[in-house]
Amino acid sequence: MGSGEFMPEKLETCIDEVNSLSPDLVALTGDLTNSGFEREYRQAKNYIEKFKAKTVVIPGNHDTRSTGYIYFEEYFGEANQVLDFGNVTVVGVDSTLPDNNEGYLGRDRYLWLNKNLGRVEKGDFRIVLVHHHLIPVPGTGMERNELIDAGDVLATLVSNKVNLALCGHRHVPYTWQLENLMVITCGTACTGYVRARIPQAYFIINIKDSSMKIILKEVGGKEKFLRSVKY
């Protein structure tokens, strides 16, 4: 929100498509605003409330510009959060450094992740949301896009048997598999900030019967099956 590249018609289409799927959860991996201004947060909140499913939202580097982290908590609650869906646990962790494009977790958040993931029942599915990339992604340009401490964060996730990590940041949809961890980097559904031939899109992730099916859906367009993973 707030950028001249914002495409409201794409977002409206995306919301309608997602609602038609009746998902259990809509996960948003940050950069809801362009500059962290309150008017942008108000607009983002109005759109996000149109999703019929439960939503989990974490901040991106754009959201914490201009002390926008204050508005994030006012409009969306704690940046670090844990949601329990029975046999699925979703953990959102804030990787932003205010007024800085790079991301970092640090020791305190490793401990926070260890504490909360350590409470998850054995065999339950574990999902972690973090805005910045955990693994470099092709076509994302020269700016550093992965977490400064990505290695330590990956080690924390793998040691806690996390099944799925969802990232955002550079608007290039991509998937990596590292040991038993699937890492998905999301694109953008509603801005013109995309690389050549990458459409506005979102992921549909189906988790059922010890398997995960990953589909990339172009907003207003076709679906592309990417992979199926056993866990």
pLDDT tens-digit readout, 45-70:
999 999 999 999 999 999 999 999 99
When mean pLDDT is compared across 39-43, 122-126, 128-132, the lowest value belongs to 122-126
Q: State the Cα–Cα distance between residues 199 and 227, nearest whole angstrom.
A: 19
Mean pLDDT over 4-13 rounds to: 93
Q: Write down the pLDDT at residue 10.
A: 96
Instruction: Give kind and range of the element (H or E) at residue 89.
Output: strand 88-93
CB distance 214 to 165 below 8 Å: no
Which residues, in sequence order, are CB contacts of 154 under 8 Å at separation 6+?
A: 134, 135, 178, 181
CB distance 182 to 165 below 8 Å: yes
Residue 129 has pLDDT above 70, yes or no: yes
Cβ atoms within 10 Å, residue 167: 28
Residue 142 has pLDDT above 70, yes or no: no
CB distance 160 to 114 below 8 Å: yes
- Spatial CA neighbour of 31 closest among 170, 199, 192: 170
- pLDDT, one tens digit per residue, over 177-195 is 998 999 999 999 999 988 8
CB distance 103 to 61 below 8 Å: yes
Cβ atoms within 10 Å, residue 155: 12
DSSP state of 182: E
The confidence band for 231, taking pLDDT boundaries of 50, 70 and 90, is: confident
CA dihedral sign of residues 125, 200, 196, 1? negative
Cβ atoms within 10 Å, residue 52: 14
CB distance 194 to 187 below 8 Å: yes
Beta strands in 98-180 (DSSP E): 100-103, 125-130, 164-167, 174-178
Q: Which token pair is 192? A: 């013109």
β 54-57/174-178 pair status: unpaired
